[in-house]
Protein backbone atom coordinates (compact mmCIF):
# COMPACT_ATOMS: atom_id res chain seq x y z
CA UNK A 1 0.00 0.00 0.00
CA UNK A 2 1.39 3.41 -0.97
CA UNK A 3 -1.27 5.66 0.50
CA UNK A 4 -3.29 5.24 3.66
CA UNK A 5 -6.90 6.05 2.70
CA UNK A 6 -8.65 7.51 5.72
CA UNK A 7 -12.34 8.02 6.48
CA UNK A 8 -13.56 10.36 9.24
CA UNK A 9 -16.56 9.13 11.22
CA UNK A 10 -17.75 12.25 13.03
CA UNK A 11 -16.77 15.65 11.69
CA UNK A 12 -17.48 17.68 14.82
CA UNK A 13 -15.31 20.08 16.80
CA UNK A 14 -12.13 18.06 17.15
CA UNK A 15 -12.01 16.79 13.56
CA UNK A 16 -10.27 20.02 12.49
CA UNK A 17 -7.19 19.08 14.52
CA UNK A 18 -7.30 15.44 13.37
CA UNK A 19 -7.25 16.51 9.74
CA UNK A 20 -4.03 18.53 10.02
CA UNK A 21 -1.49 15.70 9.88
CA UNK A 22 -3.31 13.84 7.09
CA UNK A 23 -3.60 16.97 4.95
CA UNK A 24 0.12 17.55 5.35
CA UNK A 25 1.37 13.99 4.74
CA UNK A 26 1.69 12.63 1.23
CA UNK A 27 1.48 9.06 2.57
CA UNK A 28 -2.18 9.59 3.64
CA UNK A 29 -5.40 10.95 2.12
CA UNK A 30 -8.75 11.78 3.67
CA UNK A 31 -11.00 9.99 1.17
CA UNK A 32 -14.38 9.89 2.96
CA UNK A 33 -16.30 11.65 5.73
CA UNK A 34 -19.48 10.86 7.59
CA UNK A 35 -21.53 12.82 10.07
CA UNK A 36 -25.19 12.46 10.91
CA UNK A 37 -25.31 16.17 10.14
CA UNK A 38 -24.78 16.02 6.38
CA UNK A 39 -24.16 19.78 6.29
CA UNK A 40 -21.25 19.38 8.67
CA UNK A 41 -19.90 16.40 6.72
CA UNK A 42 -20.16 18.39 3.47
CA UNK A 43 -18.51 21.48 4.90
CA UNK A 44 -15.52 19.57 6.22
CA UNK A 45 -15.38 17.05 3.37
CA UNK A 46 -15.26 19.82 0.76
CA UNK A 47 -12.61 21.70 2.70
CA UNK A 48 -10.46 18.54 2.83
CA UNK A 49 -10.92 17.67 -0.85
CA UNK A 50 -13.20 14.65 -0.37
CA UNK A 51 -15.18 13.53 -3.46
CA UNK A 52 -18.92 14.29 -3.25
CA UNK A 53 -19.83 10.60 -3.55
CA UNK A 54 -17.76 9.88 -0.42
CA UNK A 55 -19.62 12.27 1.88
CA UNK A 56 -22.09 10.31 4.03
CA UNK A 57 -24.60 10.74 6.83
CA UNK A 58 -24.99 6.99 7.44
CA UNK A 59 -21.78 5.38 8.57
CA UNK A 60 -22.79 1.89 7.48
CA UNK A 61 -22.89 3.18 3.91
CA UNK A 62 -19.43 4.69 4.34
CA UNK A 63 -18.01 1.47 5.80
CA UNK A 64 -19.26 -0.42 2.72
CA UNK A 65 -16.91 1.60 0.48
CA UNK A 66 -13.99 -0.64 -0.52
CA UNK A 67 -11.48 2.18 -1.01
CA UNK A 68 -11.05 3.00 2.71
CA UNK A 69 -8.18 1.57 4.78
CA UNK A 70 -8.63 3.25 8.15
CA UNK A 71 -11.54 4.88 9.98
CA UNK A 72 -10.94 7.75 12.41
CA UNK A 73 -13.77 7.53 14.93
CA UNK A 74 -14.58 10.96 16.38
CA UNK A 75 -17.99 10.29 17.90
CA UNK A 76 -19.49 10.82 21.36
CA UNK A 77 -18.08 8.20 23.74
CA UNK A 78 -21.10 5.88 23.97
CA UNK A 79 -20.81 5.23 20.21
CA UNK A 80 -17.09 4.32 20.15
CA UNK A 81 -17.57 0.64 20.97
CA UNK A 82 -20.17 -0.25 18.33
CA UNK A 83 -18.64 1.95 15.63
CA UNK A 84 -15.26 0.31 16.19
CA UNK A 85 -16.74 -3.18 15.97
CA UNK A 86 -18.61 -2.21 12.80
CA UNK A 87 -15.49 -0.73 11.18
CA UNK A 88 -13.48 -3.83 12.04
CA UNK A 89 -16.24 -6.07 10.67
CA UNK A 90 -15.99 -4.07 7.44
CA UNK A 91 -12.25 -4.82 7.30
CA UNK A 92 -10.99 -1.34 8.22
CA UNK A 93 -8.17 -0.39 10.55
CA UNK A 94 -9.39 1.90 13.34
CA UNK A 95 -8.19 4.96 15.20
CA UNK A 96 -10.73 5.71 17.93
CA UNK A 97 -10.67 8.79 20.10
CA UNK A 98 -10.22 8.40 23.83
CA UNK A 99 -11.79 7.04 25.96
CA UNK A 100 -12.06 4.00 23.70
CA UNK A 101 -15.31 2.83 25.35
CA UNK A 102 -17.46 3.21 28.45
CA UNK A 103 -16.52 -0.09 30.10
CA UNK A 104 -13.52 -2.39 30.28
CA UNK A 105 -15.66 -5.24 28.89
CA UNK A 106 -16.36 -3.15 25.78
CA UNK A 107 -12.67 -2.31 25.46
CA UNK A 108 -11.79 -6.01 25.68
CA UNK A 109 -14.26 -6.81 22.91
CA UNK A 110 -12.74 -4.14 20.67
CA UNK A 111 -9.18 -5.37 21.28
CA UNK A 112 -10.19 -8.97 20.62
CA UNK A 113 -12.08 -8.09 17.42
CA UNK A 114 -9.15 -6.11 15.98
CA UNK A 115 -6.67 -8.81 16.83
CA UNK A 116 -8.87 -11.60 15.40
CA UNK A 117 -9.26 -9.64 12.16
CA UNK A 118 -5.55 -8.79 11.96
CA UNK A 119 -6.36 -5.07 11.95
CA UNK A 120 -4.68 -2.18 13.72
CA UNK A 121 -6.51 -0.45 16.59
CA UNK A 122 -5.21 2.88 17.83
CA UNK A 123 -6.68 4.68 20.83
CA UNK A 124 -6.18 8.33 20.04
CA UNK A 125 -4.44 9.87 23.01
CA UNK A 126 -2.61 13.06 22.06
CA UNK A 127 -1.40 14.62 25.32
CA UNK A 128 1.60 12.28 25.45
CA UNK A 129 2.55 13.69 22.03
CA UNK A 130 2.49 17.35 23.13
CA UNK A 131 6.04 18.52 22.32
CA UNK A 132 6.85 19.82 25.84
CA UNK A 133 5.60 16.50 27.28
CA UNK A 134 7.79 14.62 24.79
CA UNK A 135 10.78 16.75 25.85
CA UNK A 136 10.09 16.15 29.55
CA UNK A 137 9.86 12.41 28.90
CA UNK A 138 13.18 12.45 27.02
CA UNK A 139 14.86 14.36 29.88
CA UNK A 140 13.46 11.92 32.45
CA UNK A 141 14.50 8.92 30.34
CA UNK A 142 17.99 10.44 30.21
CA UNK A 143 18.03 10.34 34.02
CA UNK A 144 17.94 14.12 34.54
CA UNK A 145 15.70 14.00 37.63
CA UNK A 146 16.74 10.55 38.81
CA UNK A 147 13.98 8.07 39.58
CA UNK A 148 10.51 9.67 39.17
CA UNK A 149 8.74 9.57 42.55
CA UNK A 150 5.58 11.66 42.12
CA UNK A 151 3.54 13.32 39.38
CA UNK A 152 1.19 16.22 40.03
CA UNK A 153 -1.21 17.39 37.32
CA UNK A 154 -3.29 20.54 37.58
CA UNK A 155 -6.12 21.55 35.25
CA UNK A 156 -7.45 25.09 35.53
CA UNK A 157 -10.66 25.64 33.59
CA UNK A 158 -12.11 29.08 33.17
CA UNK A 159 -13.44 31.36 30.47
CA UNK A 160 -11.77 32.90 27.45
CA UNK A 161 -12.63 35.59 24.90
CA UNK A 162 -10.34 33.83 22.40
CA UNK A 163 -11.44 30.19 22.79
CA UNK A 164 -12.73 28.31 19.77
CA UNK A 165 -16.42 27.85 19.27
CA UNK A 166 -17.79 24.65 20.80
CA UNK A 167 -21.26 23.71 19.50
CA UNK A 168 -23.87 23.22 22.23
CA UNK A 169 -24.43 19.70 20.85
CA UNK A 170 -20.81 18.84 21.78
CA UNK A 171 -21.47 20.04 25.34
CA UNK A 172 -24.81 18.23 25.61
CA UNK A 173 -23.46 14.68 25.26
CA UNK A 174 -20.50 15.49 27.53
CA UNK A 175 -22.86 16.57 30.29
CA UNK A 176 -24.85 13.35 29.99
CA UNK A 177 -22.94 10.64 31.92
CA UNK A 178 -24.68 7.91 29.92
CA UNK A 179 -23.17 9.25 26.72
CA UNK A 180 -19.91 10.61 28.11
CA UNK A 181 -19.23 7.80 30.61
CA UNK A 182 -18.52 10.23 33.43
CA UNK A 183 -17.99 13.94 33.89
CA UNK A 184 -16.40 16.24 31.29
CA UNK A 185 -13.38 17.19 33.41
CA UNK A 186 -12.49 14.05 35.39
CA UNK A 187 -13.55 11.36 32.90
CA UNK A 188 -13.46 12.94 29.43
CA UNK A 189 -10.53 15.33 29.85
CA UNK A 190 -9.28 13.25 32.76
CA UNK A 191 -8.39 10.46 30.32
CA UNK A 192 -5.53 12.65 29.10
CA UNK A 193 -4.32 13.19 32.64
CA UNK A 194 -4.50 9.50 33.55
CA UNK A 195 -2.67 8.78 30.29
CA UNK A 196 0.06 11.20 31.35
CA UNK A 197 0.34 9.49 34.74
CA UNK A 198 0.51 6.10 33.00
CA UNK A 199 3.02 7.37 30.40
CA UNK A 200 5.46 8.84 32.91
CA UNK A 201 5.10 6.46 35.84
CA UNK A 202 3.34 3.25 34.74
CA UNK A 203 -0.02 1.86 35.78
CA UNK A 204 -1.52 2.92 39.10
CA UNK A 205 -2.44 0.25 41.61
CA UNK A 206 -4.85 2.24 43.79
CA UNK A 207 -6.98 5.35 43.20
CA UNK A 208 -8.84 7.65 45.59
CA UNK A 209 -11.02 10.43 44.19
CA UNK A 210 -13.25 13.25 45.34
CA UNK A 211 -15.35 14.55 42.45
CA UNK A 212 -17.13 17.82 43.14
CA UNK A 213 -19.89 19.61 41.27
CA UNK A 214 -20.28 23.22 40.15
CA UNK A 215 -23.34 24.69 38.45
CA UNK A 216 -21.96 26.66 35.51
CA UNK A 217 -25.33 27.64 34.03
CA UNK A 218 -28.87 26.88 35.22
CA UNK A 219 -29.11 23.07 35.39
CA UNK A 220 -25.59 22.57 33.92
CA UNK A 221 -23.05 20.97 36.23
CA UNK A 222 -19.30 20.49 35.84
CA UNK A 223 -17.45 17.81 37.80
CA UNK A 224 -15.20 20.26 39.65
CA UNK A 225 -13.47 21.01 41.93
CA UNK A 226 -12.09 17.49 42.03
CA UNK A 227 -9.04 15.72 43.33
CA UNK A 228 -7.89 12.29 42.26
CA UNK A 229 -4.88 10.77 43.95
CA UNK A 230 -3.29 7.46 43.17
CA UNK A 231 -0.49 5.13 44.13
CA UNK A 232 1.92 3.51 41.72
CA UNK A 233 3.81 0.35 42.58
CA UNK A 234 7.08 0.99 44.46
CA UNK A 235 6.05 3.79 46.87
CA UNK A 236 5.35 6.34 44.09
CA UNK A 237 2.29 8.60 43.90
CA UNK A 238 0.34 10.90 41.63
CA UNK A 239 -2.54 13.35 41.68
CA UNK A 240 -4.86 15.32 39.47
CA UNK A 241 -6.60 18.50 40.59
CA UNK A 242 -9.31 19.81 38.26
CA UNK A 243 -10.82 23.20 39.06
CA UNK A 244 -13.30 25.40 37.26
CA UNK A 245 -13.10 29.12 38.11
CA UNK A 246 -15.94 31.13 36.54
CA UNK A 247 -13.95 34.38 36.67
CA UNK A 248 -10.58 33.03 35.51
CA UNK A 249 -9.92 34.54 32.08
CA UNK A 250 -7.48 32.55 29.95
CA UNK A 251 -5.75 33.02 26.62
CA UNK A 252 -6.29 30.09 24.29
CA UNK A 253 -7.02 29.16 20.70
CA UNK A 254 -8.85 26.01 21.83
CA UNK A 255 -10.58 25.18 25.13
CA UNK A 256 -10.55 27.61 28.08
CA UNK A 257 -8.26 25.44 30.15
CA UNK A 258 -4.64 25.45 31.25
CA UNK A 259 -2.75 22.31 32.27
CA UNK A 260 0.46 21.97 34.23
CA UNK A 261 2.52 18.96 35.21
CA UNK A 262 5.15 18.66 37.92
CA UNK A 263 7.25 15.50 38.22
CA UNK A 264 9.57 15.07 41.16
CA UNK A 265 12.44 12.63 40.97
CA UNK A 266 15.10 11.41 43.34
CA UNK A 267 17.43 14.28 42.35
CA UNK A 268 15.40 16.89 40.49
CA UNK A 269 12.04 18.32 39.48
CA UNK A 270 10.58 18.99 36.04
CA UNK A 271 7.64 21.22 35.14
CA UNK A 272 5.58 21.30 31.93
CA UNK A 273 3.23 24.23 31.34
CA UNK A 274 0.80 25.41 28.65
CA UNK A 275 -1.26 22.88 26.67
CA UNK A 276 -4.52 24.42 25.48
CA UNK A 277 -4.18 27.53 27.61
CA UNK A 278 -1.36 30.01 28.02
CA UNK A 279 -1.76 30.91 31.67
CA UNK A 280 1.80 31.29 32.85
CA UNK A 281 4.39 33.28 30.97
CA UNK A 282 7.04 30.61 31.50
CA UNK A 283 9.10 28.37 29.23
CA UNK A 284 7.09 25.22 28.47
CA UNK A 285 9.65 22.93 30.15
CA UNK A 286 11.68 23.85 33.24
CA UNK A 287 14.12 21.49 34.96
CA UNK A 288 15.64 21.95 38.39
CA UNK A 289 18.59 19.88 39.57
CA UNK A 290 21.98 20.38 41.20
CA UNK A 291 21.09 23.91 42.40
CA UNK A 292 20.40 25.04 38.85
CA UNK A 293 17.27 25.77 36.85
CA UNK A 294 17.30 25.05 33.10
CA UNK A 295 14.56 26.15 30.71
CA UNK A 296 13.63 24.60 27.36
CA UNK A 297 11.73 26.67 24.81
CA UNK A 298 12.99 25.24 21.51
CA UNK A 299 9.81 23.37 20.63
CA UNK A 300 6.34 24.14 19.28
CA UNK A 301 3.80 24.80 22.05
CA UNK A 302 0.55 24.94 20.06
CA UNK A 303 -1.81 22.23 21.32
CA UNK A 304 -2.47 21.19 17.71
CA UNK A 305 1.06 19.75 17.59
CA UNK A 306 0.00 17.00 19.98
CA UNK A 307 -2.52 15.87 17.35
CA UNK A 308 -0.09 16.20 14.45
CA UNK A 309 2.55 14.15 16.29
CA UNK A 310 0.07 11.49 17.40
CA UNK A 311 -1.29 10.98 13.88
CA UNK A 312 2.19 11.04 12.37
CA UNK A 313 3.33 8.31 14.75
CA UNK A 314 0.39 6.21 13.60
CA UNK A 315 1.17 6.75 9.90
CA UNK A 316 4.86 5.93 10.51
CA UNK A 317 3.88 2.81 12.46
CA UNK A 318 1.41 1.78 9.79
CA UNK A 319 4.01 1.78 7.04
CA UNK A 320 6.69 0.24 9.25
CA UNK A 321 4.35 -2.53 10.43
CA UNK A 322 4.70 -1.30 14.04
CA UNK A 323 2.05 -0.71 16.70
CA UNK A 324 0.31 2.64 17.00
CA UNK A 325 0.50 4.53 20.27
CA UNK A 326 -1.74 3.95 22.22
CA UNK A 327 -2.50 0.37 21.31
CA UNK A 328 -5.96 -0.99 22.16
CA UNK A 329 -4.41 -2.78 25.15
CA UNK A 330 -2.83 0.47 26.39
CA UNK A 331 -6.10 2.34 25.91
CA UNK A 332 -7.84 -0.31 27.98
CA UNK A 333 -5.39 0.27 30.83
CA UNK A 334 -5.93 4.04 30.79
CA UNK A 335 -9.70 3.47 30.68
CA UNK A 336 -9.43 1.20 33.72
CA UNK A 337 -7.55 3.97 35.53
CA UNK A 338 -10.19 6.60 34.57
CA UNK A 339 -13.08 4.34 35.59
CA UNK A 340 -11.45 3.63 38.94
CA UNK A 341 -11.54 7.36 39.73
CA UNK A 342 -15.30 7.48 39.03
CA UNK A 343 -15.83 4.39 41.13
CA UNK A 344 -13.77 5.70 44.03
CA UNK A 345 -15.70 8.98 44.16
CA UNK A 346 -18.99 7.08 44.01
CA UNK A 347 -18.01 4.71 46.82
CA UNK A 348 -16.22 7.33 48.90
CA UNK A 349 -13.22 5.05 49.32
CA UNK A 350 -10.01 4.01 47.62
CA UNK A 351 -10.30 1.52 44.74
CA UNK A 352 -7.61 -1.02 43.91
CA UNK A 353 -6.83 -1.65 40.25
Nearer to ligand NAD among residue 172 and residue 347 (C-beta): 172
Figure out which of the listed residues 34, 88, 227, 286 binds ligand NAD, where binding follows CB under 6 A: 34
Does residue number 130 form part of the binding site for ligand NAD (CB under 6 A)? no
Which range touches ligand NAD (CB under 6 A), out of 8-16, 25-33, 262-270, 330-338? 8-16
Residue with Cβ nearer ligand NAD (79 or 279): 79
Q: How far is the CB of 98 from ligand NAD (least distance, A)?
A: 6
- Asked whether the beta carbons of 291 and 268 are under 8 A apart, the reply is no
Stretch that binds ligand NAD, among 74-82, 133-141, 145-153, 267-275 (CB under 6 A): 74-82
Residue 40 contacts ligand NAD per CB under 6 A: yes
Using rule CB under 6 A, residue 14 touches ligand NAD = yes
Q: Which residues contact 127 (CB under 8 A, 6 or more apart)?
A: 133, 192, 193, 195, 196, 275, 306
Q: Which of 7, 10, 263, 312 binds ligand NAD (CB under 6 A)?
A: 10
44 vs 135, beta carbon nearer ligand NAD: 44
Q: Examine residue 326 and say whether the peptide bond preceding it is cis (omega within 30 degrees of 0).
A: yes
Q: How far, CA to CA in Å, does 252 sit from each of 21, 159, 325?
A: 21, 10, 27
Selected binder of ligand NAD within 13, 137, 152, 154 (CB under 6 A): 13
CA atoms within 13 A of residue 79's CA, in its CB half-sphere: 14
Q: List binders of ligand NAD among 205-224 (CB under 6 A).
A: none
Sign of CA dihedral 99, 94, 199, 206: positive
Task: Report if residue 35 touches ligand NAD, rule: CB under 6 A.
Answer: yes
DSSP letters for 80-136: HHHHHHHHHHTT-EEEEESS--SSHHHHHHHHHHHHHHT--EEEE--GGGSHHHHHH
Distance CA 183, CA 190 (A): 9
Q: Which residue, 139 or 261, has its beta carbon nearer to ligand NAD?
A: 261
Q: How many other β-carbons are positioned within 10 Å of the β-carbon of residue 146? A: 13
Q: Which residue is nearest to ligand NAD (CB)?
A: 12
* Residue 162 contacts residue 203 (beta carbons within 8 Å): no
User: Among residues 84, 95, 97, 257, which is the contact residue for ligand NAD, using CB under 6 A?
Assistant: 97
Q: Given the rule CB under 6 A, which residues bind ligand NAD?
A: 10-14, 34-37, 40, 59, 74-77, 79, 97, 126, 167, 169-170, 188
Amino acid sequence: METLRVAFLGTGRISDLHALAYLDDERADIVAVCDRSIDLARARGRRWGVAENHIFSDYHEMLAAPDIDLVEILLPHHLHHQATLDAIAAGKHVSVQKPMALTVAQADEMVTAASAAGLSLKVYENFIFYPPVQRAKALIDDGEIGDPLTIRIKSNSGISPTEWEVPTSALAWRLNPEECGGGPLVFDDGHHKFALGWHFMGMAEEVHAWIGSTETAPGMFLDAPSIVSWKFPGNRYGSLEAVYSPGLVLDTSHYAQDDRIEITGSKGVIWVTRGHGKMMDLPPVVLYKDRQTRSFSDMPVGWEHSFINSTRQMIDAFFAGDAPQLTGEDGREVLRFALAAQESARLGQAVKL
